[in-house]
Amino acid sequence: MINRTGSKTEHDGYLVPIETVPEIVEVCKRDIGQVMIRGGAVWFMDLWSVGWYDDDTVWRSNGKLASLYAAYAAGQKTPRFDAALLVDEKAMSLVAQPTDSARHFLSYQRYDMYRAGLSFGTFALEDLAEGRIPDAKELFVLDPFRIDEAQATKLRRAAEAGGRTLVFVYGFGKTAPSDITKMTGMDIRSTTSGGSVRITPAADAANFGLGGQSSFGADVLATPRWYVEGGADTVLGRFTDIGKDAFAVKDNSTFRSVFFGGMRMEPATIRAIVRYSGGHVFLDTDDVTMASDDLVVVHASRAGAKTVRFPRKTDVYDYFKGAWSLGVPSVTIAMEPGETRYLFYGARSAIESRRLPAW
């Protein structure tokens, strides 16, 4: 975790400064909330050794957060997520220009996932094939470039077993055409006609909940480009310069599939895919959101009212405000830019039994 205040070092363009101590406190809340949800750990790094955290207010806040995490972790179960980002690390050996492409379909894509308002985790591709992701309804396969026949069979079986939705991004590299069809139900091909992978919406995009967007994905040049030749139920976008379908969905009866031939799906696109699969969206205002089955962490990207919707009616404890909302399907909270809130949800008795220290 890298944070710093502008008063401690000059802005060098590499690490953008966090300007004030209250802002760094809120960022620490955000990042510690992240590891609470995932059952992880955190360490504080001062990369240039210039005193990024040299303020008692920061450490008093972090100390209270450590006590909160200890109480929460005492009753924490294995984290469960509604959606999963799947990455095949070996497949990256096939990417010729990682700095101009992999940034978009891997690194930058995470930014938009955090702003999509979902409960999601990041996993290796083999985690799904080996049954280590039992709960995720939407499976975003970000680099499906070298999936072999055995992996394709396992992916399809895993999708069918849970009525899941498989989402494939950009293209398939060396994956065999028969395995592509096995996993998608569509005929997806490549063309060496290089160009931008930014996608233009088709007429049916509006019916999919994407009527307000003028394009999908980043404006990145790539060769090859991948497109849908046939088999889709609905086409949502096209590469207009070559007249090819580039964004499509398919209901395969026992599972669903989505092909997005661009790079870097926007938060609204991600939310539309999740709703297509029957998944849950906690927040739709593009604020940073992290969630599990009993905690939602929201870090406001901009000021305003945020309506957080829960999978069912529930009791909600707004931790930093010390406020309860009982038996509600949603809560609306007013937030300032950069503010972080923790919303514990479930039965009030269960939340109180964890003896979370008061803020």
Q: Given CA atoms 270, 272, 277, 280 in this order, what sign does their dihedral have?
A: positive
For the stretch 272-299, pLDDT in tens is 999 999 999 999 999 999 999 999 999 9
Mean pLDDT for the stretch of residues 56-79:
94
Q: What is the pLDDT of residue 13?
A: 55
Q: Residues with Cβ < 8 Å from 352, sequence gap 6 or more?
A: none
pLDDT at 103 exceeding the cut of 90: no
Q: What is the pLDDT of residue 1?
A: 40
For the stretch 256-273, pLDDT in tens is 999 999 999 999 999 999
The model carries a pTM of: 0.93
Mean pLDDT for the stretch of residues 318-336:
98
The model's confidence at residue 6, banded by pLDDT at 50, 70 and 90, is very low
For the stretch 294-316, pLDDT in tens is 999 999 999 999 999 999 999 99
Mean pLDDT for the stretch of residues 172-182:
97
Domains with residue ranges and CATH for the chain: 83-276 (3.40.50.880), 290-353 (2.60.40)
Q: What is the pLDDT of residue 2?
A: 42
Question: Which among 357, 287, 288 is positioned nearest to 317, based on CA atoms?
Answer: 357
